Chains A and B, each alone.
Chain A
């Protein structure tokens, strides 16, 4: 992380809400704003703030704005990922019905081609409903995205599986299941307990299923190759600030949201935490991320 992370970030114009804003969670499902959105900020401010905190070059700004223009306003989900003081990003594009060519992979790849390239491009005949890829601070400086993630749905059950597509080919990556944290609590506990990484005879459930975040719209339990993960969807700005503190996000990110807390109160946010267990039985938070739309 750059020196900028520990200093106050240079202010850039904030992006205010408009009457035509739509509000989507990280699955691009609509939600009702918590409060009157007039005079408040769009969630994309979180993304621009994180770029400033990292000190990303202007090329990344430009590439992201090109994506926004191509996919349409509010149509791109961004994730801001954090591990051990390092930040990076993931962009997600949903098109369940394959109805919008603007958010299909070839269109998005084309839109960012001035800044970076892709090592592999998915076949549109693959029945993916969403694809994503990671961006790092220097990606838009002529870099290459070496992995595209493709997400395929389950039949009826809310969830899916993801595959990594690289120059080497495709490989299975993660499986996900979305559940209501209250009405599907038995299923949720079952999914969490089915773990090869965490020994729940040594670890309290409360260490991975966090009481501060469970009041949310949906939980997603993910099984990954090297960790388990729980995502909390639809939390409020107070919970987001708790999440930042708990997972020790850079001070410049915390203070930005704290300073503008009242301007983010109308929004719901989504966060995710990957976790595993160390040999001594303590829980290791492998990485975490928070999400919004641009």
Chain B
């Protein structure tokens, strides 16, 4: 993964965290649940796969933290096997549990989790009263259970954090939720704007329009600041957060989960992406939001950019357990043409891309300290000027940019010309009609076309 992956909307990643979905059962039925259907279809990560990644992490030190999640992960007895392995592996500094907090009401169970090695508890709270929270979870008593769970955690040297899903039902409750959390020793609160994963038309009417939910959210962030609670917001346009813009963190841990999960993961867009200083961090609005409430083109207020904008990287994504060598070996779009320059010494230059147009193959090359040029292959033509003629091509170069020492340019050209001359066996061609020849025929006779 590289920096650009952070901006990809399918796999945003909090680089040093790894999330593991242990199972997909749940004892609540939150109205906004994004995996209601998935509960019946998704399967947890096999222990052996997690163990292999944990072992690899011990060598690579890629992740500092592992997060166990579900479904409701505390319902799965094998959780303790995962936690124990994570802690004993020695590869993770923190082991976090993402939970609805209901089973934490049992002091013995909570102690067992802590003893197994969990040092961070990330507990969901969606209402400031039992009435509202239980309405959302659709489980009477769930609010009281999570509050007792937070109280139980106070007996242990662990970090308490909360997660609140911002949606239409609870938009008036955020400040009250902060009060509840503060009174139970919570040190960090995350507010995630609701994203439909299965109800893309929002038939449940849960998406909160910006103008509705935002004032209460800003009030809650003010309260967090007063109490010294670190606050995090997700999936809210940064320009709408005002003085709390720095709370926006759309990153997510690398997540081991069934691949189909990402097929349904929401996508985002903002009309002002290229104009806004925050576009690398801010995702804008979900497509579902835009469909329902519009682009908010007069509400959003992009902050003028002070640096160049580049489009999002939409290349092939890596897996959490993909090695750097695998990533580096990912092929480009024209492998046969790229092979012509394969093995170019790094100190001579490097190939950025190949583009085939109607009449030419154009290799973009970088060399020296930021210099670049285009190496161009055209069909062999004895009458046209060329740096080199090979079996099939005239080779020349253009678009030389940046500063460089002439010997460096000469070395690069020698290296690329040697390779092309040696490797052009006539199998590649820039003849636009290769393989398709107009068949001879008499006018108005229908030829057999092959």
Contact = CB atoms under 8 A, between A and B. Distances in A.
Nearest to B427: A19
Interface string A1-36: 000000000000000001111110000101111111
Contacts of A23: 333, 356
Interface in A212-249: 212, 214-215, 236
B356 A209 contact: no
A215 B434 contact: no
A219 B162 CA distance: 42
B434 A66 contact: no
A32 B333 contact: yes
B358 interface: yes
B269 A215 contact: yes
B294 A206 contact: yes
A43 interface: no
Interface residues of A, number: 47
Interface string B336-355: 11000000000000000111
A62 B446 contact: yes
B444 interface: yes
A71 B355 CA distance: 21
Interface string B284-316: 010100110011010000000000010110111
26 contacts: A19-B335, A20-B429, A20-B434, A22-B358, A30-B355, A30-B356, A32-B353, A35-B333, A36-B332, A66-B438, A69-B436, A70-B438, A73-B432, A114-B445, A182-B273, A183-B274, A185-B275, A204-B294, A204-B295, A205-B294, A206-B294, A211-B285, A211-B287, A214-B271, A215-B269, A266-B333
A68 interface: yes
Contact of B449 (A22, A69, A73, A189): A69
Most chain A Cβ neighbours within 10 Å, of B332, B356, B357, B439 = B356
A45 to B, nearest CB: 16
Interface string B424-444: 000111001111111101011
B402 interface: no
Given A37-B334, A38-B331, A211-B285, 14 more contacts: A30-B357, A30-B358, A59-B446, A62-B446, A65-B449, A75-B432, A102-B433, A114-B445, A114-B447, A182-B309, A183-B309, A189-B271, A212-B267, A236-B314
A252 B353 CA distance: 36
Interface in A263-290: 266
A72 interface: yes
A205 B333 contact: no
A121 interface: no
B50 interface: no
Interface size class of B (residues with CB under 8 A): 35 or more
B438 to A, nearest CB: 5
A212 B335 CA distance: 30
Nearest to B446: A114
B449 A206 contact: no
B311 A182 contact: yes
A115 interface: yes
A189 B436 contact: no
Interface in A119-149: none
A75 B358 contact: yes
A22 B332 contact: no
Contacts of A21: 356
The B interface, classified by DSSP as helix, strand, loop or mixed, is loop
Interface string B256-276: 000000000001010111110
Contacts of B354: 32
Given A36-B332, A182-B311, A211 B269 contact: yes
A34 B227 CA distance: 49
A204 B292 CA distance: 10
Contacts of B445: 114
Nearest to A68: B436
Contact of A69 (B295, B312, B355, B438): B438
Contact of A189 (B297, B336, B356, B358): B297
Interface string B320-333: 00000000000111
Interface of A: 18-23, 28, 30-38, 59, 62, 65-66, 68-70, 72-75, 102, 111, 113-115, 180, 182-183, 185, 189, 204-206, 209, 211-212, 214-215, 236, 266
A36 B356 contact: no
Given A30-B355, A182-B311, A36 B294 contact: no
Nearest to A294: B436
B357 A22 contact: yes
A205 B295 contact: yes
A23 to B, nearest CB: 7
Contacts of A206: 290-291, 294-295
Contacts of B434: 20, 73
Contacts of A183: 274, 309
A34 B356 contact: no
A209 B332 contact: no
Contacts of B334: 32-33, 37
Contacts of A205: 294-295, 297
B441 to A, nearest CB: 8
Given A30-B355, A66-B449, A72 B333 contact: no
Contacts of B316: 35
Contacts of A114: 441, 444-447
Contacts of A266: 333
B394 to A, nearest CB: 17
Nearest to A61: B449
Most chain A Cβ neighbours within 10 Å, of B271, B435, B439 = B271
Contacts of A115: 446
A28 B357 CA distance: 9
A114 to B, nearest CB: 4
Nearest to B9: A215
Contacts of A180: 274
Nearest to A107: B438
In the A-B complex, list the 7 residue pairs whose CB atoms are closest, starting with the nearest. A33-B333, A182-B274, A19-B336, A72-B432, A36-B331, A211-B290, A65-B449
Contacts of A68: 436
B140 to A, nearest CB: 39
A34 B289 CA distance: 28
Contact of A34 (B269, B333, B446): B333
B279 to A, nearest CB: 9
Nearest to A117: B444
Most chain B Cβ neighbours within 10 Å, of A20, A69, A236 = A20
A214 B269 contact: yes
Contacts of B287: 211-212
Contacts of B269: 211, 214-215
Contacts of B312: 215
Contact of B295 (A28, A70, A209): A209
